[in-house]
Chain A
Amino acid sequence: MTDLHTIRVTVNGTTYERTVEARMLLSDFIRHELGLTGTHVGCEHGVCGACTVLFDGQPVRSCLMFAVQADGHEIMTVEGLAPEGEMHPLQEAFHEAHALQCGFCTPGFLMTLKPFVETHPNPTEEEIRKAISGNLCRCTGYQHIIEAVKLAIKKIHHTDA
């Protein structure tokens, strides 16, 4: 009864060829097939945003997709945000603003925010809040995350958000 498919997916610049069941979630594929466990799973029903990855550059919830849907596509996970031993300005900003506590939600926030901070040199606070409104964090109350976003934008665009 298992329905197997061979897929080719590029993750963080490396192309993987794997044979998977049609029903395998993309989140499980990334975590358990590829061993990229930085992507977290908090709800498996599309609400918490912890599993967010970039799919051809766009943030998507990997728990709401099947691995087979990623065939021929490019994915970026938190492990691909910066070369080993370095940090993306967004990661630096999260560190500096104390924007994470348990850190479980953090990869999802980072992946949601990467395109946002790179394309919004001057967002209002309301826009920042909207940008992260699809990600749940149970530890921080969001305030330091919002500060981190402002700081990241400053670092990236050399502006004052």
Chain B
Amino acid sequence: MAGRYFGQPIRRNEDPVLLTGQALFTDDVQLPGMVHVAFLRSDYAHARIRSIDVSRALDRPGVIGVYTAEDLGDYWQPGPLLVPPPPVEGIIFHQRTQVPLAKGKVRHVGEPVVMVVAESRYIAEDALDDIFVDYEPLEAVVDVEKALEPDAPLVHEDLGTNLAARVVQRKGDYEAARAKADVIIQRRFYYDHGLAAAMENRGIVAHWDKKMQYLTVWDTTQAPVVIRNGLAKMLGLSESQVRVIAPFIGGAFGPKIMMFYPEEVLIPWLSMKLNRPVKWIEDRRENFVATTQERYQVHYAEIALTKEGRILGVKDRFYHDTGAYDPYGLTVPINSQCTLLGPYDIPNYHSEMNVVFTNKTIVTPYRGAGRQHGVFVMERLLDLAAKELGIDRTEIRRRNFIPPDKFPYNNEIIYQDFAPLVYDSGNYEPALDLAMKLIDYEKFIKEEQPRLRAEGKHVGLGIVAYVEGTGIGPYEGARVQVESTGKVNVATGVGTQGQSHFTSFAQIVAEQLDVDVRNIRIVTGDTAEFHWGTGTFASRGAVVAGNAIHAAAKKVREKVLQKASEEFGVPVEELELRGGYVHTKDGRSISLADLAVKANPLRGAVKPGTEPGLEATMYFGPERGVTANGVHAMIVEVDPELMDVKIKKYVVVHDCGKVINPLVVEGQIHGGVAQGIGNSFYEEIVYNEDGQMLTASFMDYLIPTAMEIPPIEVGHVETPSPWNELGTKGTGEAGAIPTAAAFVQAVEDALADYGIEILEAPLSPNRLFEILKEAQAKKGT
């Protein structure tokens, strides 16, 4: 329905303040009398705390207070379980959530142990060096498979095991299908997904105003409403006494939604205790060890096929590293378990997920949120099957795509939103066809590649497909109001971290009210403006908040027309809303501003039941998510001396239903692909056997720069979702999900003459070198 506003590449409302340095980020909040916090964090992955001596820190001039777990009294509580386990039969789930400050034992490097508050950040950090913690180091749990051996050290001794969860999900009867198979392929896969590394670290400023009895918190969170409600409860305040503001946020990508980080619990408490504004800003090193991350999974997977390449079934057993605690429940591994099925019609599936506690930073979703791991396994299995059966890799995918007439398609297993995994809609072949066209598939494999190979070049192509479950519930809401200025004010509970909500949400409203997008002010992430909502995650902003805004805007439109109809004595059907005015057929008109004033009379009487103003609040709560899909393709050239890989061409074809703003969608895809490329070849968190992260700086953890990211060509297919009025599906994570699968396929293809098989990601020049050596050694024997 590309309208005048909806579907247009409109420039962003939020840009001017950001471009001129006027936007407010959390660390920009400066309040009189503000004091600063620094945390002493564990240097050990696993150790008992024998004693803590803070006396020297307390003596340091400028230090205001030093707090250990003991000093918190009853306020010390393990955090809430953010996502309960899904209702799957026979599930094992052990809840162990993070604590504000470590008590008795530390369970990962970076776990906060002591909080220092001082007149300046410099002094607070000086004081950390004054503190002495007597640790008794314990053997660290690092490897997910060894962690489950009988004599492994335990992250949580009281549990008696490191197994955090086991979930078996089934569709059909895999064993029966296997018996009928012509080909069975089995492999072990390793997939590691790293750090979000948003450019802005986390931060919190809390201001308890004693006279007002009011707590204001600025927090780099993706879910301000949830933080407000939780804080009120913890601090014994009414929700209306707490305002949480998620101001401009410098990227989030998942880890900024982890209710509650220890710091989120402590800083507001401290502000109330000291009766002063308190600021804590994370530094980059802390971000590496104390902000949640994703990590690796090991999969033992097999696929059963007919000789025509039709998938009969897939079986998988996998181990997921959840870190020291599991506050986010099973969201990440459930995503892996479900997304593995991809766009394929797989009649039989048996998947066993094992979630394992380790002495590492907590794992919670980071862009893709476990979907990468599943896609990698499935796409690799198909590549291996294609090779074995002598079928073209695009053909084997095409043969197994769910046909368009089979939607809604029920995968029967339970998804992260606790509902059965049902795909609303999809049309997969056109996406594949378009990707093949844009990457020039036939020409590359028939002409280019042979020609370049003859010249001694190692070039290869990767092409993979994926689906992305997006836009899950439970709900979001929005309030739309036409002000007496004629401007429109929209408030919603989701936070925003660069997704262009100030513009795309305005476009949705503009489409209904025909007001210039620049005259629509969007407020996100301020609980004083809107206090219902769950947060920005799972590519759901445009779908869930978007549809709530759409519904509210439609309602306001009705009110506008109704009011005008009363004014003019003309039926609604004969009125037209255009350019900020309502027009009658006989040439009369009235502005939205005037109507707003008339809708809010100051004297006289109104009809019983009249609601003032031109305002509406609506909610959207989808029964289940909607499924976007796409195909990524790339061409790489590998230098087998230096093991360097250059991406020569990158194509993304995606289908996220109706697009609100194509510029914004492209930006989301480019950014996602860049993170996917990082995850393929540059970014790797390395832990040693003591559970120490060896890559805790940007010198060691390599975020791709403009030198590594190629131009990305984006093609669109549009299959609107029938499950929401706007027809939208999410797009936030699509760019990042299948990249490594495509990359590995391309590298393997480029090095075809070495006969290697790559069953892992990320790669690196070093790792590629080892893989080649191993292959050569095998050949030799």
A residues contacting B by CB (< 8 A) are 21, 23-24, 31-32, 35-45, 47-48, 50, 77-79, 81-82, 87, 91, 94-96, 98, 100-107, 110, 128-130, 132-146
With A50-B199, A138-B198: A91-B19 Cβ-Cβ less than 8 Å: yes
Which one, B174-182, B508-516, B670-678, is touching chain A?
Answer: B670-678
* Bitwise interface map of B from 342 to 354 toward A, beta carbon under 8 Å scored 1, else 0: 0000000000000
Tell me whether B82 is interfacial, beta carbon within 8 Å: no
Residue of B nearest to A84 (CB): B20
B residues contacting A by CB (< 8 A) are 9, 11-12, 14-16, 18-25, 27-28, 30, 122, 196-201, 248-251, 253, 283-284, 497-500, 663-664, 666-675, 697-699, 703, 705-707, 709, 711-712, 735
Contacts of A140 in B (CB 8 A): 667, 670-671, 674
14 A-B pairs besides A141-B669, A142-B670, A143-B670 with CB distance below 8 A are: A35-B30, A37-B30, A43-B697, A47-B697, A78-B19, A96-B11, A102-B497, A103-B14, A103-B250, A132-B705, A133-B706, A140-B670, A141-B670, A141-B709
Interface centre among B25, B199, B663, B711 (most CB of A within 10 A): B199
B250 touches A102 (CB 8 A): yes
A91 touches B20 (CB 8 A): yes
With A102-B250, A141-B709: A44-B22 Cβ-Cβ less than 8 Å: no
B19 touches A143 (CB 8 A): no
Contacts of A35 in B (CB 8 A): 30
B251 touches A100 (CB 8 A): no
B251 touches A101 (CB 8 A): yes
With A37-B28, A100-B15, A106-B19: A146-B706 Cβ-Cβ less than 8 Å: yes
Contact of B663 among A41, A98, A132 (CB under 8 A): A98
B129 → chain A closest CB, angstroms: 13
Contact of B21 among A79, A105, A128 (CB under 8 A): A79
B505 → chain A closest CB, angstroms: 15
B7 → chain A closest CB, angstroms: 15
A29 → chain B closest CB, angstroms: 12
A103 touches B18 (CB 8 A): yes
B674 touches A103 (CB 8 A): no
B199 touches A105 (CB 8 A): yes
A37 touches B27 (CB 8 A): yes
B674 touches A142 (CB 8 A): yes
Residue of B nearest to A97 (CB): B663
Contact of A78 among B21, B30, B663, B664 (CB under 8 A): B21
Interface centre among A37, A96, A143 (most CB of B within 10 A): A143
B707 touches A42 (CB 8 A): no
Interface centre among B21, B497, B500, B663 (most CB of A within 10 A): B21
A40 → chain B closest CB, angstroms: 7
How far, in angstroms, from A98 to B669 measured CA to CA in the complex? Answer: 13
B532 → chain A closest CB, angstroms: 25
Contact of B20 among A23, A87, A98, A105 (CB under 8 A): A87
B498 touches A47 (CB 8 A): no
Contacts of B198 in A (CB 8 A): 102, 104, 138
Residue of B nearest to A144 (CB): B667
Residue of B nearest to A42 (CB): B199
State the 3 A-B residue pairs at the shortest beta-carbon distance, nearest first: A38-B21, A104-B250, A102-B498
A110 touches B19 (CB 8 A): yes
B19 → chain A closest CB, angstroms: 4
Interface centre among A107, A140, A145 (most CB of B within 10 A): A140
B249 touches A102 (CB 8 A): yes
B655 → chain A closest CB, angstroms: 20
With A21-B122, A44-B284, A95-B11: A102-B667 Cβ-Cβ less than 8 Å: no
**A-B residue pairs in contact (CB < 8 Å), sample of 11:** A36-B21, A38-B21, A43-B697, A77-B21, A98-B663, A100-B19, A103-B248, A103-B250, A139-B498, A141-B712, A144-B670
Contacts of A143 in B (CB 8 A): 670, 709, 711-712
A103 touches B698 (CB 8 A): no
B288 → chain A closest CB, angstroms: 10
